[in-house]
Amino acid sequence: TIRKSKASRLDASYLNTAHLVLDGSEFNHLDLSYGRIGLMEMNNTQIGFSLDLTHCQVNDFKQTGGTSLKSLGGLKLDGSNINLPQ
């Protein structure tokens, strides 16, 4: 769980966890590439420039508030199985 954090860049590539919670945080660049995540929750989290989910396998994804990932210009999903909310 990462709560109320502010970072220019967070590199958590190859992260292997059952449950990842990003709550009320702000990142310019977030790298979760090649990760294996059971449940990923993003609650009121802002992403400024890029989110890298290349080859990241996520069983379940939930998002409330924060940055609209579908409109994020730096979103990388190559080889990922993540389903973004509508």
CA angle 60, 65, 66 (to 5 degrees): 100
Q: Report the b/e string of 54-81 with b at 16+ CB within 10 A.
A: ebbebeebebeebbebeeeeebbeeebe
pTM, entire model: 0.91
Spatial strand order of the sheet with 36-43 comes to 2-3, 16-23, 36-43, 57-64
Overall average pLDDT of the 30-41 stretch: 97
pLDDT tens by residue, 38-82: 999 999 999 999 999 999 999 999 999 988 888 888 999 999 998
Terminal alpha carbon distance of the chain: 24
